[in-house]
A and B are shown apart, each in its own frame.
Chain A
Amino acid sequence: MSSNHSELLYDLHDSPAFLPSLTAAFQHLLASFVGVITPTLIVTSTLGLTEYTPYLISMALFVSGLGTAIQTKRIGPVGSGLVAIQGTSFAFISALILAGNQVKADGGTSEDVLSLLFGLTMAGAMVEVVFSLFVHKLKRIITPLTTGIVITAIGLSLINVGMTDLAGGFHALTSPAQKT
């Protein structure tokens, strides 16, 4: 904790040796790994899609790697050029579960649920792509105040999910009599 505000050991454009790079990369991996897979674990277990969970987690990790490379490399206008690790977002969990439950209520199969969720993911991504083109005009909206509030709200809204899991998951909450 002592070196928090001292100068950086390696700057953005420095090239540390293999071993320090790998060690630092592992620390990033440990910090983000659970985050990358947790939304998939929660969405699939809540919607009863556990048969696909291993494959979907593989894909989540694969896309996180791909995305992190793009963010770091900066291909044309795409990417920040910072070490910005990408991963599956927590913010969408409740909306995805809502959408999935709707499909199931209409009698859709697991494949129907997944195809809709991925369709929504792609369509929404276009919203963000278009939004990014106007970022410089939205300086008045993107302030530490609004971003701080949104991030705080995201964290608070997810505590529900964490606490439910801590107590044994949705299943345990709905059937309290079933104790082992």
Chain B
Amino acid sequence: MAIGATYVGITKGLDFSGLASLSVVAIPTPFAFGIAFDITLFLPIALIYLFSAIETAGDLTANSLFCKQPVSGPIYLARVKGGILGDGVNSLLAGMFNTFPNTTFGQNNGVIQLTGIASRKVGFFVAALFVVIGFFPIVGVVLQAIPKPVLGGATLVMFAMVAVGGLKLLASYALDRRSSLVTACALGMAIGVMMVPEALSELPSWLENILLSPVTSAGLTAVILDLTLPGKKPLASPHASAQKIESSTGVAQDTPAYELIHNPKPEGNRRAPKALNEKAVVNHEVVKHSAHSTHILSIDGQPGVTSALFSAKAR
């Protein structure tokens, strides 16, 4: 982003016109713009808050996993509960101090994983840095001068990375026939309303507004189907997941390992007989590794998948 902004700065010049009329320090004033409310516009926002809470639960699950904290049981539940409550309280503060809803970020889980530092002390350092930067509006003006295409280049990848984060979480949950169907329906609805928004134009406008958000329609579809479709499996025991994969040897479409390994190199499908052999090897490897792992979520972790990939390649 810095390189892109510099390039545009040199070739076309950046617009820093905001600098002139700028105060040096921004004072957080509660309710600087007053407060108002509208019930019909509130409904979609309220629904998104519910899904934001579900998203936070997902992020905190990943976070706990990387911090070697439990991902089930009372400690985990207390963390998720406190985290969602924290999101709510922080969003209250956000509205009070003139900014938009806050949530727990997922991308920082990657930083914890990368640095291997899970210490809470770091959290306080980050908090202090944010507050300090926040007091100086010059940051805002400089950021506003970032050319749109440069911003877009960075955000496009970032947004797509959010989707990939979701896929990772999905892959951690052995995609059997039932959950594949739920996923297909929900993502079908999401992409459907995105690409053909006219499909909803005959609905009452309040309902149209709610369903027009791909997040809401996907979330609603997923929750309703997940609750109503029969055959829901109990949450994540390592034993069950190992069995699940073992039983699907040969019909490997059901296992996340198959998806992960074969998606990056789709040309493998052309060599059908050989691919079939690989598939069997892959499944055995994964079963072996998942027996060592402590939780279903680690099935998608690197050791199982990479070694399975290597052994598949070696043969």
Contacts and interface: CB of A to CB of B under 8 A. Distances in A.
Interface of A: 3-16, 20-29, 31-32, 34-41, 43, 50, 53-74, 77-92, 94-96, 98-99, 102, 111-112, 114-129, 131-133, 135-136, 139-169, 172
B135 A62 contact: yes
Nearest to B175: A145
Nearest to B194: A157
A78 to B, nearest CB: 5
A165 to B, nearest CB: 3
A171 to B, nearest CB: 8
A152 to B, nearest CB: 3
Contact of A87 (B38, B103, B139): B103
Nearest to B66: A8
B100 A89 contact: yes
A7 B91 CA distance: 34
A150 B48 contact: no
Given A125-B95, A152-B163, A146 B223 contact: yes
A133 B78 CA distance: 11
A73 B160 CA distance: 31
Contacts of B112: 83
B199 interface: no
Interface of B: 1, 18, 22, 26, 28, 31-38, 41-42, 44-46, 48-55, 57-61, 63-64, 67-69, 77, 79-108, 110-141, 143-144, 148-149, 151-170, 172-173, 179, 182-183, 186-187, 190-191, 194, 209, 213-215, 218-219, 222-223, 226-227, 232, 235-236, 297, 301-303
29 contacts: A9-B116, A11-B67, A16-B121, A16-B122, A34-B154, A34-B155, A53-B144, A58-B140, A62-B26, A62-B28, A65-B126, A68-B130, A70-B86, A74-B82, A79-B83, A80-B60, A82-B123, A84-B60, A86-B103, A96-B100, A118-B99, A119-B35, A120-B38, A120-B45, A122-B96, A125-B94, A146-B54, A150-B166, A153-B214
A99 B210 CA distance: 12
Contact of A118 (B89, B95, B139): B95
A108 to B, nearest CB: 9
A98 to B, nearest CB: 7
B59 A84 contact: yes
A118 B45 CA distance: 11
A167 B152 contact: yes
A135 B86 contact: no
B101 A125 contact: yes
B95 A85 contact: no
A82 B69 contact: yes
The 3 A-B residue pairs with the shortest CB-CB distance, nearest first, are A155-B163, A165-B152, A65-B130
A120 B85 contact: no
B167 A81 contact: no
Given A9-B115, A38-B155, A128-B53, A70 B107 contact: no
Contacts, number: 573
Interface residues of chain A: helix, strand, loop or mixed (majority): helix
Given A118-B33, A121-B95, A150-B219, 5 more contacts: A32-B107, A67-B102, A88-B100, A116-B41, A149-B166
A38 to B, nearest CB: 6
A8 to B, nearest CB: 5
A94 B200 CA distance: 17
Contact of B42 (A61, A124, A129): A124
B61 A147 contact: yes
Nearest to A87: B105
Contacts of A41: 143-144, 151
A28 B148 CA distance: 24
A129 B92 contact: yes
Contact of A53 (B93, B121, B140, B214): B140
Given A63-B93, A142-B54, A58 B152 contact: no
B15 to A, nearest CB: 11
A23 B114 CA distance: 12
A172 B148 CA distance: 10
Contacts of A121: 45, 91, 94-95, 99-101
Given A31-B110, A153-B190, A62 B83 contact: no
